[in-house]
Every structure is written in C-alpha cells, then in structure tokens.
Structure 1
Amino acid sequence: MDYLKILIPLIAAATAWFANEWRKRRWEEYHRKEDRYQELIKSLKGFYASSWSQEESKVLKNQFIDQLNLCWMYCPDEVIQKAYRFIESVHTGSDSSDEEKEVALGSLILAIRKDLISQKLLSKTSLKPEDFKLLTST
C-alpha cells in the first residue's frame, strides 16, 4: 500500500504535465496561424489598393505569396485551396468579374475565420505535392 502513496501522485503529476504541454502546443500553433493570417490579410492590399505604386503593389503581392507558402506548414487544406482560388481570380489575364473576385476573397477570409474559431490542431491533409504552386507576382 505504501507504493500507492507514491504512484498516485506520480501519475497525477505526469498527467498534469502532459495536459499542460498539449495546451501549450495548441496555444503556440494558434498564435503561429494567427500571425500568418494577419500578414496574409495585410498583404491583400496589393491586389486592391489603387493608391499603391506598381512597385509597392508587387511587394505586397509577393508578401501574400510568401505567406501562402508558409501556410502549408500550419493551415488547413481549405484555407490553402481558397487562397489559390483567390489568386486565380485576380491573376493578370483572368476573366473573373469583380463579383467573382469578391466572392473568392470572402471565401478565403471566411475559411481563415473558421480555422481560427475552431482552434483545431492540424493533424491530416489531403493535399498532394502537385497542389503546391510556385507563384510570382506580375
């Protein structure tokens, strides 16, 4: 019976430690995603703000692409797919209407919002290597 006096607190301490580490991991991943999403959203101005010079717009577009590439590490498939659809809609030579561009942007922002609200850890993906696109701004 003396071993129970040692074993029970030891198990309780180990369980508390694992739970704390799991919460810390979730919190850190949430902040990584939140930071990534903030930069992604800030750089959207490069696609819309007419007050930017062509060079400033190109810098912002490149920042968006860089952030999208980094999203492959932490963000769910839906966010990545919606971001690519948005880029396709605003790409030079695209025949997307302004309404289609707005819908693509709204879908991206909504996917980001849903991901942040869910606070789920990324555990699986259905993306394939060929889904990754090497993009450059024009």
Structure 2
Amino acid sequence: MSSSPFVVKWGILATGNIAEKFTKDLLTNPAVRDTHDVRHELVAAASSSSASRAQDFINNCGGPSSAKAYGSYAELVADANIDIIYIATPHSHHFQNGMLALDAGKNVLCEKSLTVNAKQTKKLYEVAKAKNLFFMEAVWTRCF
C-alpha cells in the first residue's frame, strides 16, 4: 500500500439535491469505510443559474475554501485541475453535458438514467473510448 493516497479531483456539474447528497458523501473521510488508498477533493462546482448558487452549494456541502464556483458548465469543464466531472443535471440533459465534459477531455460519472435513448448512450461510450476516458453511469450507492 502506498504511503499517500491517490487523490481524485472532482468537478460537480449541477447543484441540486442529488448532487448535494453525492458531494457530501464524496467528502466523507474514506477512512470511516476502512479505505486508505484514495482521497476525494472537491475542486469546483457549477450551477447553470449563477456562480453564487455554486458557491452556496460548495458551502452547504462543507467543501474547501479553495473550491471554485462557476456560473456555467463550460467554465467547469475547462478547469485544468479537475480529473472527473460528476453530472447531476436532469437526465434529459445528460447527453449534452456528457459530450461537453468528454470533449473537454474529462472523465465522467453521470447520474442515472444515463441518457434518454440507446443511440445517445452509444455515442457517449464511443467518444469516451476514442479519447481513452472513464465514463460510467452513477449508481452511486454501489460505488462508495
């Protein structure tokens, strides 16, 4: 086992209820689950309505003062410090938001349901595979 944990740097795309639950769980010390080889950091969050809404989200989740608040999803995916984007928008927007993140070279964990049809899911999978990026549907109570 490594002496220092692998750090995963997250960007949260959308600031609703499920995103808040996910982020609070994400920021729980992994040692309480007897996990010592990984640590999660909240780098940034974005709200489609305003940067102040994103800042409120970060504060409500207990995020670090260093976490950035963005007022657009494009700003979030452009942040070079983010390793993976968690998409928590309504499922009707998952394809568009997933493509935005993948096109920016980001790994993606996308809330369920993944897309509205198989064609969209296949396209996201193909883009992720071509760019060698992680892409997964977030059945998150099984992932942590």
Q: TM-score, normalised by structure 2?
A: 0.26
> Which protein has the larger Cα radius of gyration, Structure 1 or Structure 2?
1
Greater strand content: 2
Q: TM-score, normalised by structure 1?
A: 0.27
Greater helix content: 1
